[in-house]
Amino acid sequence: MIDLAPVANILGRLLLLLGSLMLIPAALDWAMDNGNASAMVQAAIITAGVGGCVTLATQGALRRAFDIRSAFLLTFGIWVLTPLAGALPLMLGAPHLSFTDAYFEAVSGITTTGSTVIVGLTDLPAGMNLWRGMLNWLGGLGIAFIAMIFLPVMRVGGMQFFKTEGFDTFGKILPRASDIALSLVGVYAGLTVACLLVYKAIGMNALDAVVNAFATVATGGFSPQDSSFSVYSGAGEYAGAFFMAISAMPYIRYVQMVTGRSGALWRDPQVRSYVVWMAAATLAVTAWRVLTSGDSPEPVFRETLFNIVSIMTGTGFFSGSFGGWGGFALVVAFVVGVIGGCSGSSSGGLTVFRTQVAMSAVRAQMRLIAEPHRVEPVRYAGRSVDAETLNGVTMFVTSYILLIGVLSVGLTLTGADLQSAIFSIWSSLGNIGYGIGPMVAETGTYIDFPTAAKWIMIVTMLLGRLSLLAIFVVVMPRFWRG
């Protein structure tokens, strides 16, 4: 049987942290005297109280063995249980959401998806918009940490390719996890501060700059504005595109750069492909729009760049009306959204790494068909990809494509039209947060979807963030029997 105490202890500590952090937006609401501070304080007391009780009940548990099953369970618990705490302020205070809507919003925030069910974001209390941004920021940090530390050893979706010598078991990882966490937090916080200062310099007010910076660096997309980045057109779009793009690159490379390996980022083949594919998609859609509309190239390029970067990185900010750009633009958006950002970041989708490995496997198979006696290994970054990694990538890509189809059918059964269903599942599974389709177009939110559809999307967001197979592993009876 699994020893649940170490996992429960870590989750209890996380709840204590979340409860403490709720006091920050509570203080902002109290200072602004908008009547919402008491709800935030109540949520903080409940969250910290539960977290404290769990932590005390499992005191000393972290000294016990922490194995791969514990890692799966912890990852599952973080993304499934912590949104319950994140939803409390949304239920107790303005906007007084139902449990389903509040949990949807919190899951969307912590998984850095960015889909919302709230209409009237500009009318929300300042503390509530700050809390939404904090959910994005904390979720992005947690995702980056798990991607750097746990996923390679958990052997999920081919991520074992990134294991390093002397860092391949939990017994070796845990003693060094705090050092890596400190380096990651330093890089993550540094990017956030830089983004915040730039946003403030281009004219955003203090609250918008903070919330947008949190959501940008986390590739989360929760905006304090109903029209997202449309109100910051011009310099805001260029600044947003830049910080979204660099935030979807592997954080381990930034840590390496800080520690003296200055060329680590660009030497990573997924980073080079990521930049090239993003540029190609932007230029293709820009050319399409200019040729079909006759509009001035610079505004079209700027708006296209922002939206393509937002979709590929899984951020979910929008500028303008992307849904009205025509079929070609929608197809390109769909493709780059499926590809996603780089492995080792908080972005979603297949990731560039898995896409590259899959493409390499296709090339190898085509050469094998042409020359049956030729030995053609699948290669990535100059290294042969072992069978276990290749099988992991193949399973992930296959599952991803099948889930888009199956879950889209599920949404249509709740009454969603075909376009809204497909793009909503695409957005949720890729943790993109970008709403396209008739059911989203009127409000830019998912408020009009029925309750059953929202729960399908909640599960889909969690599947995307838990690397698909991780959630299936936890619900298997064999997992609990050991």
DSSP letters for 426-471:
HHHHTT-----SHHHHTTSSSTTS-HHHHHHHHHHHHHHHTTTHHH
Residue 294 has a pLDDT of: 85
Its domain, for residue 143, covers 4-172
Q: State the pLDDT at residue 173.
A: 45
In a domain, 242, yes or no: no
Domains held by the chain: number: 2
Mean pLDDT of the chain: 91
pLDDT of 159: 55
In angstroms, the CA 166 to CA 163 distance is: 9
Q: Which residue has the higher pLDDT, 344 or 193?
A: 193
Mean of pLDDT values over 181-195:
92
Q: What is the pLDDT of residue 167?
A: 35
Mean pLDDT of 128-155: 85
**Percent of the chain clearing pLDDT 70 (strictly above):** 92
CA pair distance 185, 145, nearest whole angstrom? 9
* pLDDT above 90: residue 93: yes
What was the pLDDT predicted at 188? 96
pLDDT of residue 112: 98
Query: Is residue 473, in this structure, part of any structural domain at all?
Result: yes
Q: How confident is the model at residue 457 (pLDDT cuts 50, 70, 90)?
A: very high
Higher pLDDT, 180 or 204: 204
The answer to whether position 11 is within a domain reads yes
For residue 34, count CB atoms less than 10 angstroms from its CB and return exposed for 0-12, middle for 13-18, buried for 19 or more: middle
Higher pLDDT, 386 or 83: 83
Q: Is residue 411 pLDDT above 90, yes or no?
A: yes
| Confidence band for 72, pLDDT divided at 50, 70 and 90 | confident
Looking at the chain, the whole-number percentage of residues with pLDDT higher than 90 is 70
Task: State residue 184's pLDDT score.
Answer: 86
Tell which of 144, 172, 200 closes a domain: 172
Query: How confident is the model over 247-275, as a mean pLDDT?
Result: 92
Residue 165 has pLDDT above 80, yes or no: no
Q: State pTM to two decimals.
A: 0.94
**pLDDT of 207 higher than 50:** yes
Distance CA 164, CA 16 (A): 33
Q: How buried is 474 (Cβ within 10 angstroms: 0-12 exposed, 13-18 middle, 19+ buried)?
A: middle
Q: For residue 67, tell me if it sits in a domain.
A: yes
Note whether residue 390 is domain-resident.
no
Task: Give a yes or no: residue 157 inside a domain.
Answer: yes
Give Cα separations from 182 to 172, 178, 187, 189, 262 (angstroms): 17, 6, 9, 10, 19
Residue 279 falls inside a structural domain: no
Domain final residue pick, 140, 172, 204: 172
Annotated binding site: 112-113, 220, 315, 431
Q: How much is the pLDDT for 172? A: 47
Compute the half-sphere exposure of residue 469: CA atoms within 13 Å on the CB side of its CA.
17
| Residues of each annotated binding site for K(+) | 112-113, 220, 315, 431
How many CA atoms lie within 13 Å of 17's alpha carbon, on the beta-carbon side? 13
Segment 355-360 shows an average pLDDT of: 95
Q: Is residue 412 part of a domain?
A: yes
Q: Is the pLDDT of residue 162 over 60?
A: no
Instruction: Say yes or no to pLDDT of 151 above 70.
Output: no
Last residue of a domain, one of 141, 172, 203: 172
Task: Give the number of other CB atoms < 10 A from CB of residue 386.
Answer: 14
